[in-house]
Amino acid sequence: MLSRTADHLFWMSRYMERAENTARMLNVNYETSLLPQSAEATEQGWRGLLSISELTPAYLQRYKDFNGRDVMDFMVRDENNPSSILACLRAARENARAVRGTLTTEVWETQNQTWLEFNRLLREGAFMRDPGAFFEWVKFRSHLSRGVTVGTMLQDDSLHFLRIGTFLERGDNTARLLDVKFHALAGEYFGAGNDKESPEVDFYHWSAILRSVSGFEIYRKVYRNVIQPELVAELLILRPDMPRSLAACVNELVANLRLVANQHSGETLRRAGRLQADLQYGRIDEILATGLHAYLTQFLARVGDLGGGISRDFLVPEAA
Amino acid sequence: MPPSFDEMRISGSEVRDHYRTYERWLQAQPQDVMRDRRDEAEMIFRRVGITFAVYGAKDEDGSGTERLIPFDLIPRVIPSHEWEDMEKGLRQRVSALNRFLHDVYHDQEILKAGLVPAEQVLNNAQYRPEMRGVKVPGGVYSHISGVDIVRAANPDGSGSYYVLEDNLRVPSGVSYMLEDRKMMMRLFPDLFAMHRVAPVAHYPDLLLETLRAVAPAGVVEPAVVVLTPGMYNSAYFEHAFLAQQMGVELVEGQDLFVRDEHVFMRTTQGPKRVDVIYRRVDDDFLDPEVFRKDSTLGCAGILGVYRSGNITLANAIGTGVADDKSIYPYVPKMIEFYLGEKPILNNVPTYLCREAEDLKYVLANLNQLVVKEVHGAGGYGMLVGPAASKAEVEEFRTHLLTNPSNYIAQPTLSLSTCPTFVEAGIAPRHIDLRPFVLSGTEVQMVPGGLTRVALKEGSLVVNSSQGGGTKDTWVLED
């Protein structure tokens, strides 16, 4: 297929996935902010959300302090924030439009409809009225987008590049979520200095993280145990059967990369395979011993490197 | 000017034969049902994303510059005997135009015979000297031709079809013809049970067949692509639509490159050779090495490949010289010269302002004529005398005196009307027709074409960029 087409497909699914994960993070922060907690803790939550996405400086150019209303506004509908849900859905739709002939009618219409509906919901004030329901809607549209893709697309390179985009982005997003939350919550336990709050508050925070990746019930099912930070980390990093874990994302990434391999992509595939092996044979106690933050920082760098490799090998090849 | 010819009614109460069944049906439809159907159509068009770009506009939903082309619910109906004549006429006209194009880039017999003034052709900005002596497969230059036809009233109340202009460069609109039909069948399936409407949905098949038929000699399984200027072009939807319907790649200039006398596209599996390009990019932007240097829409070096016969461009480079408004008056002569036949389709009488006699007449009758720029398109740069203000007429007089050869003039035709569903209810609005003629090994077309309608009361300008809409076009089989 055309390299440019693959590029648009890759970014279409990345942006859709990013919109979903942003909605997930916002929702969990919004729900947490409704719990009885100190003003500092609440502010810390919003501050952390911006730092996950490396958006603190951009935010501070427009707003003074870290309150929920402003942060949500910035992350949901700020035209000038390239990571806002609005910007992601627009980019997903623009990328889809650029290759609408490659998508099935259902896939294109789903993307287009999402964008039209999103604007209508904003205009009608749905977001202000009930942020929780609004974030659910974004997640739902992402589910629909993914489902219609898998359910209607021919299983050729088009689908594989869509999947590559989805899982690269999801792996990146899960890692960022883990990093900032552990950083803020668990303090020195995981290698960063911070004050610990009471155990009960901890429970709500850990369960909130799990919920943000639809992992609360999964945690119970897998561990049949009280919520423990190391097990939460294990679930989200190493469990290959947890659909939003780093291991699951990298497994899918490698599988799809194999399917599209060309004569230039050997090195990218090797690096992806190595990352996959590290996750497959890694142990949570080792990871925690070296420091979770350092581990996740390295993971993000490796995922970024894979993204660059995919781009060079397939999407934006040097002039032939 | 006689009153307009109405496609549906002979008089207030009398309905033409071919509209009788439809008219009875329409009478039985409550207005609010029609309104609901119209809203439904608009919603579907928006969801499907059948839009065109308007430069410098912004939508309320923030999606930038995308607009719907208004779709009218009431079809334009053509009885099959009229279509049969029209089809013969189109076949004849497009064949002659292709012969003319081949001629002016080779032996120039028609110029030697003095039937068309040589300087009109050779000094025309649309004449491409680069094309001289270039062999194109099958001698076909205009593979896809859009011929604009109107029906005007005669003094006795009957109507006659006239060709208004030939579009031989990159005519657009065929996707609306296809989508309008799909929409009508979705909204009013019962109507199709009541009428024998000739189908049009096979157009992409005919187009693909045409494009494959003109592949460079020796290529067995030609790789066909559609070349688009990109998603911000006003006709992008159509480019994507046709590529998808034909199952071929939709490429942009940046996807193509030239190596070893061939054109390739960049794919995820390395370079892949391209044989036929249905290009929706104007000549000027096609090759920055030869034409506009600042173009990023084309492919550097493609003209060289084209001249060596290793790629087919549809349409060919340099077709604009045959659809230029200053060449238009000579088309009947071309038909006689190349085919030895009498023209079947009428031309509109045309005054060439470069001729002193004609100019004198035009200046004396400005308020009754339509004056057009020779190279104008899209309904811009024209004066509709009877509808223009004194100031506009005087402004055009100045233009005419400054640069007469830039203009032609024609009597103001009273374009036929067709009942149209507007805000106030059902009212007559002016329409035209653009059939799409495909030329490969043979000349083919689907019955009918795109009917455009001027939605403003009394307006004669049907272009979508100026408030025009579209209608489904039915050729009724007997």
Q: Rounded distance, CA A106 to CA A121, Å? A: 22
Residue of A nearest to B273 (CA): A2
- The whole-number average pLDDT for the span B401-422 is 91
Asked if A97 lies within 8 A of B259 by C-beta distance, the reply is no
Residues of A in contact with B250 (CB under 8 A): 5, 99, 101-102
**Cα angle vertex B81, ends B78, B84, to 5°?**
95
Q: How confident is the model at residue B281 (pLDDT cuts 50, 70, 90)?
A: very high
Q: Is the pLDDT of residue B299 over 70?
A: yes
Residue that is written with structure tokens 């400054």 in the block: B402
Between chain A and chain B, the number of residue pairs with CB atoms below 8 A apart is 75
Distance CA A270, CA A30 (A): 40
Q: What is the pLDDT of residue A190?
A: 47
Residue B60 has pLDDT above 50, yes or no: no
Cβ of A320 and B259 within 8 Å? yes
Nearest to B47 among A112, A157, A262 (CB): A112
- The pLDDT, as a whole number, for residue B55 is 58
Judge: B268–A3 Cβ closer than 8 Å, yes or no: yes
What band does B377 get if pLDDT is binned at 50, 70 and 90?
low
What distance in Å separates the CA atoms of residue A24 and residue A38, rounded to the nearest whole number? 23
Nearest to B266 among A99, A112, A320 (CB): A320
Q: Is the pLDDT of residue B1 over 80?
A: no
- For chain B, report the end-to-end CA distance as a whole number of angstroms: 34
Q: Tell whether B62 is within 8 A of chain A (Cβ).
A: yes
Highest mean predicted confidence (pLDDT) among A199-203, B65-69, B322-326, B444-448: B444-448
Give the chain B residue whose CA is nearest to the CA of A100.
B240
pLDDT at B146: 97
Please check the confidence at residue B405 and state whether its pLDDT lies above 90: no
Which range has the worst mean pLDDT, A186-190, A283-287, B241-245, B348-352?
A186-190
The ipTM value here is 0.82
Chain A nearest-CA residue for B274: A2
Nearest to B157 by CA among B9, B348, B3, B12: B3
Mean pLDDT of A74-80: 94
Is the CB of B262 inside 8 Å of chain A's CB atoms? no
Structure tokens at A304: 């970024």
CA atoms of A148 and A209, how far apart (whole Å):
28
A113 touches chain B (CB under 8 A): yes
Average pLDDT over residues B46-65: 64
Tell me, what's the pLDDT at A191? Answer: 41
Q: Convert the pLDDT of each residue in A31-49 to its tens digit.
A: 888 877 788 888 888 988 8
A residues 57-96 closer than 8 Å to B (CB): 90, 94
Stretch B255-273: mean pLDDT = 95
Q: Indicate yes or no: CB of B266 within 8 angstroms of CB of A2.
A: yes
Residue B274, pLDDT > 70, answer yes
The whole-number pLDDT of residue A318 equals 67
Give the pLDDT of residue A51: 86
Q: How far apart are the first and last CA of chain A?
A: 16
Give yes or no for A226 touching B (CB within 8 A): no
- What is the pLDDT, as a whole number, of residue A200? 61
pLDDT above 70 covers what percent of chain A? Answer: 93
pLDDT attached to residue B461: 80
So what's the pLDDT on residue B402?
A: 92
* Band of pLDDT at residue B437, cut at 50, 70 and 90: very high
pLDDT band at A194 (very low <50, low <70, confident <90, very high): very low
Confidence (pLDDT) at B386: 86
Inform me whether the pLDDT recorded for B398 exceeds 80. yes
Predicted confidence (pLDDT) at residue B64 exceeds the cutoff of 60: no
Give, in order, the Cα–Cα distances in Å from A42 to each of A6, A72, A208, B47: 41, 13, 13, 40
Q: Would you say B414 and B150 are in contact if contact means Cβ atoms under 8 Å apart? A: no
- d(Cα A293, Cα A305) in Å, to the nearest integer? 18
Residues near A278 by Cβ (< 8 Å), separated by ≥ 6?
Answer: none
Q: Poorest-confidence range of B36-40, B149-153, B384-388, B398-402?
A: B384-388
CB contact under 8 A, B49 and A94: no
User: B269 CB near a chain A CB, below 8 Å?
Assistant: yes
Average pLDDT over residues B176-187: 95
Average pLDDT over residues B353-364: 91
To the nearest whole angstrom, how far is the Cα of B331 from the nearest Cα of chain A? Answer: 38
Q: Do B231 and A98 touch (CB under 8 A)?
A: yes
Tokens for A216, please give them: 């609360």
Full 3-state SS string of chain B: CCCCCECCECCCCCECHHHHHHHHHHHCCCHHHHHHHHHHHHHHHHHHCCEEECCCCCCCCCCCCEEECCEEEEEEEEEHHHHHHHHHHHHHHHHHHHHHHHHHCCCCHHHHCCCCCHHHHHCCCCCCHHHCCCCCHHHCCCCEEEEEEEEEECCCCCEEEEEEEEECCCCCCHHHHHHHHHHHHHHCHHHHHHCCECCCCCHHHHHHHHHHHCCCCCCCCCCEEEECCCCCCCCHHHHHHHHHHHCCEEECHHHEEEECCEEEEEECCEEEEECEEEECCCHHHCCCCCCCCCCCCCCCCHHHHHHCCCCEEECCCCCHHHHCCCCHHHHHHHHHHHHCCCCCCEECCCEECCCHHHHHHHHHCHHHEEEEECCCCCCCCEEEHHHCCHHHHHHHHHHHHHCHHHEEEEECCCECEEEEEECCEEEEEEEEEECEEEECCCEECCCCCEEEEECCCCCCCCCHHHCEEEEEEEEECC
Instruction: Specify the pTM.
Output: 0.88
Look at A70-84, B49-63, B176-190 and tell me which has the smallest mean pLDDT: B49-63
Using DSSP bridges, classify how beta strands B224-227 and B249-251 pair: parallel, antiparallel or unpaired: parallel
Given a contact cutoff of 8 angstroms between Cβ atoms, the answer to whether B144 and B438 are in contact is: yes
Is residue A9 scored above 50 in pLDDT? Answer: yes
Cβ separation of B46 and A1 shorter than 8 Å?
no
CB contact under 8 A, A109 and B244: no
What average pLDDT does chain A have? 90
Does residue B61 register a pLDDT over 60?
Answer: no
Question: How confident is the model over B121-173, as pLDDT tens digits?
Answer: 999 989 999 999 999 999 999 999 999 999 999 888 889 999 999 999 999 99
Q: Give chain B's mean pLDDT.
A: 92
The mean per-residue pLDDT over the stretch B297-322 comes to 96
Q: Which of B208, B244, B268 to mutate to test the interface with A (most CBs of A within 10 A)?
A: B268
- B252 lies within 8 A of chain A by CB: yes
B271 touching A (Cβ < 8 Å): yes
